[in-house]
């Protein structure tokens, strides 16, 4: 079996001007921009994607967006589309982040349309799922994640499913400093892989990267990344500084 390459993606959220982003990318290029053991993706806000993309040219770093609309063009004020992201050389797009779902009312149906549109345009979706604290406490975690995955990936063809990256982000762990225990995370990751096996066959499910997100930091990353079904991280806070982000890349590279 081909081992899955670890993936570390930085979700900058609504942080950094284009100039700040370029400065961060330059530091990343200088430190981890030549290695190819770990796939590294940076996801700046829309205003900084193009300049970050120019700054990482010629390195192994990849470029992602944090959201997009599912239509290619039209009267959708404030939105950007998959072809627009492709035109500035983005390769990845975060879709269905819990902040989009809870603060901006994104539904599973909308996220599904976005996943399909991303794949159609050769953008790799980093498709986010995860339960709230109330859902975990009521024992509904696996059910919630199952529904989000079944609805979000509806209509994805078997031969495209391996390009999807799934990010498990327990909502209660995002930006709170409360990281899931390795057991809690591995349990959900294994469940997701099993579900992907049912939906897309075993060989496909073995290829899909499943990232953990939620207060991942250099101190807790080695243990999380060593779990069988944890193939990388989607990093918020710790992606905003070169030092911590590089440490996460190094931690991922150290797992054999
Ligand atoms: P934090 O790493 O800041 O908890 O954010 C996680 C996240 O939401 C990444 O998408």
Residue 62 beta carbon below 6 angstroms from any ligand 1 atom: no
pLDDT digits (tens, 9 = 90+) for 182-199: 999 999 999 999 999 999
Closest ligand 1 atom, residue 174 Cα: 4
Q: Where does the pLDDT of residue 178 fall: very low under 50, low under 70, confident under 90, or very high at 90 and above? A: confident
What's the mean pLDDT when you consider all of the chain? 97
pLDDT digits (tens, 9 = 90+) for 106-154: 999 999 999 999 999 999 999 999 999 999 999 999 999 999 999 999 9
Active-site annotation, residues? 97, 169
- Is pTM beyond 0.95? Reply is yes
For residue 1, pLDDT over 70 is answered with no
Ligand 1, residues 237, 238, 240, 247: which to mutate, most atoms within 8 A of Cβ? 237
* Residue 122: other Cβ atoms inside 10 A: 11
pLDDT for 177 equals: 87
**Average pLDDT score over residue span 14-39:** 98
**Average pLDDT score over residue span 75-94:** 98
**Average pLDDT score over residue span 46-52:** 98
Q: How far is the CA of 91 from the centre of ligand 1 (A)?
A: 20
* Domains in the chain: ranges and CATH: 7-30+38-47+63-71+78-241 (3.20.20.70)
Residue 11 beta carbon below 6 angstroms from any ligand 1 atom: yes
Residue 186 beta carbon below 6 angstroms from any ligand 1 atom: no
Q: How far is the CA of 1 from the centre of ligand 1 (A)?
A: 31
| Integer angstrom CA distances of residue 185 from 133, 137, 190 | 14, 15, 9
Q: How far is the CA of 237 from the centre of ligand 1 (A)?
A: 6
Q: How far is the CA of 213 from the centre of ligand 1 (A)?
A: 6
> Is the backbone of residue 110 left (phi > 0), alpha (psi -120 to 50) or beta?
alpha
Under 8 Å between Cβ of 174 and 214: yes
Q: Where does the pLDDT of residue 2 fall: very low under 50, low under 70, confident under 90, or very high at 90 and above? A: low
- Cβ contacts of residue 59 below 8 Å, gap of 6+? 28, 29, 33, 34
DSSP structure string for 196-250: HHHHH-HHHHHH-EEEEESS--TTTHHHHHTSTT--EEEESGGGSSHHHHHHHHH
């Amino acid at each position: 079996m081909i081992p899955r390459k670890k993936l570390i993606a930085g979700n900058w959220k609504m942080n950094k001007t284009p100039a700040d982003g370029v400065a961060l990318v330059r530091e990343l290029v200088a430190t981890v921009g030549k290695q190819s053991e770990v796939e590294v993706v940076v996801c700046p806000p829309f205003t900084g994607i193009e300049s970050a993309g120019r700054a990482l040219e010629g390195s192994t770093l990849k470029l992602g967006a944090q959201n997009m609309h599912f239509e290619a063009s039209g009267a959708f004020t404030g939105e950007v589309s998959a072809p627009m992201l492709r035109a500035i050389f983005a390769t990845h797009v975060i879709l269905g982040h819990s902040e989009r779902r809870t603060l901006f009312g994104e539904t599973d149906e909308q996220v599904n349309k976005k996943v399909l549109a991303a794949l159609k345009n050769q953008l790799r979706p980093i498709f986010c799922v995860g339960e709230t604290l109330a859902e975990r406490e009521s024992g509904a975690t696996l059910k919630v994640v199952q529904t989000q995955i079944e609805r979000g990936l509806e209509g994805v063809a078997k031969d495209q499913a391996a390009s999807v990256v799934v990010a498990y982000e327990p909502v209660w762990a995002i930006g709170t400093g409360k990281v899931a225990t390795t057991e809690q995370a591995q349990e959900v990751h294994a469940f997701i892989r099993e579900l992907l096996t049912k939906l897309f066959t075993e060989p496909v499910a073995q290829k899909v990267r499943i990232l953990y997100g939620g207060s991942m930091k250099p101190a807790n990353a080695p243990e999380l990344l060593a779990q069988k079904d944890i193939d990388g991280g989607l990093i918020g806070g710790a992606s905003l500084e070169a030092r911590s982000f590089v440490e996460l890349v190094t931690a991922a590279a150290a797992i054999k």
